[in-house]
Homo-oligomer: A and B are copies of this chain.
Amino acid sequence: MSTLGIWFVGARGSLATTATLGLHALAAGLTEAIGCVTEHPELDRRGLAGYDEVLVGGHDVVDTPLVKRAEELVAGGVVPQHLLRLVGDRLAATEHRLRHGVENAGTSGRGQRAEVERLARDIRAFGEEVDHVVVVDVSSTEQPYSPDDDTSSWSALRAAWEAGRAPLPASSVYACAALLADAAHAGFTPSTGIDLPALRQLAHQRAIPFAGCDGKTGETLVKSALAPMFATRALEVRSWTSVNLLGGGDGATLADPAAASSKTRAKRSGLDSMLGRPVDGPMHIDYVADLGDWKTAWDHVRFDGFLGTRMTMQFTWEGCDSTLAAPLVLDLARLLGRARAAGVLGPVPELGFFFKSPYDSDEHRLAQQWEALTRWSADCAARVERLTGEPDS
């Protein structure tokens, strides 16, 4: 087995802080791995890095100390107080591995290229300490971005930089840096990140695996379990309304309709795909400051049954976004780290289980995604075992 480095973009956010603190607690045997998919008995764990074999580093643009962020999470009921007390030292140690990121993507070609290289150096330096690095983007959701010719290939991108243009949005600056530092990449936000022809090409050239995008943790998760029920039972969904109330940093970002629109677009398209046609109904993401990291989602489904009978189903989901997402982020890093070792490269559609908008896959149904994940995981495990020659548990 090999050591793993997780490099968070947005390392001081709620999600990264929860994941970091949780990892330390797991490594110290202080908490159970609830919500960690990689602990599921159906998932082949051979060759995955142990929690005590993982180092954390990352970029952020704010300087609030990790421990301070963790205290805020304690106050918000996300993290139990006693855990913070017990892993405070480890958090402080991680603090030393955090670096300042890029506020925005730069305006000059030279500037953007330089930023990419600086970030890559940070990641490469971190990589010295571990066998594999996985960069996980958990920074604030960007506004929607429309790619142009400058990002249509790796050479076009370099040419654009030469010509003084700065075509990449910030999330893609980080993704590019990850690739140049030979790190795998997971895009947990709806931002563009690695999903540009230029960067996909670069990933192939450098034989690097990546996965994304936009973590599926709450209401969309439930949808991906429920919509197939309506579909296979041949019930006609006439409207599906979704309301998401959330506070916290993520909520504040999504209070901006432009940022929210990347989210709702993704949610809607998955639903339509599972139900086989466009479905009516509003979809709201609302910022309610008081809710903090807690999200309340209400969904209302109007469907018709036999002889046109009108029926409804509604559900309310009350979850803590950061603790729903944190274990998945650890899962993704462990799985991509091992995939790297197994020689997997390019987009990994089999990781679609984790995402609202899975790269290179139209499969949104949770059960089918689970089957694909477990099959792929067994396959990676076997390949790693063959390669390393060390039979592992």
Closest to A276 in B: B41
Closest to A373 in B: B232
Closest to A232 in B: B370
A309 beta carbon closer than 8 Å to chain B: yes
A291 beta carbon closer than 8 Å to chain B: yes
Give chain B residues whose Cβ lies under 8 Å from the Cβ of A22: 306-307
From B80, B233, B307, B368, contact of A308 by CB (8 A): B80
Mask, A316-354, CB within 8 Å of B = 1, is 111110011011000000000000000000000000010
Interface size class of A (residues with CB under 8 A): 35 or more
In the bound assembly, the distance between CA atoms of A302 and B243 in angstroms comes to 15
A31 and B281 form a contact (CB under 8 A) = no
A304 beta carbon closer than 8 Å to chain B: yes
Mask, A36-50, CB within 8 Å of B = 1, is 110110100000000
Interface of A is mostly: mixed
From B36, B78, B368, contact of A309 by CB (8 A): B78
Give chain B residues whose Cβ lies under 8 Å from the Cβ of A77: 77, 309-310
Given A18-B307, A37-B234, CB of A315 within 8 Å of CB of B313 = yes
A306 and B280 form a contact (CB under 8 A) = no
From B288, B300, B302, B316, contact of A282 by CB (8 A): B288
A318 and B313 form a contact (CB under 8 A) = yes
A252 beta carbon closer than 8 Å to chain B: no
Complex A-B, nearest 4 residue pairs according to Cβ-Cβ distance, in ascending order: A367-B367, A315-B315, A225-B229, A35-B306
17 A-B contacts, Cβ less than 8 Å apart? Answer: A32-B308, A34-B236, A34-B304, A34-B306, A35-B235, A35-B306, A40-B232, A79-B307, A83-B307, A222-B226, A228-B366, A234-B327, A239-B290, A241-B245, A245-B282, A284-B284, A367-B368
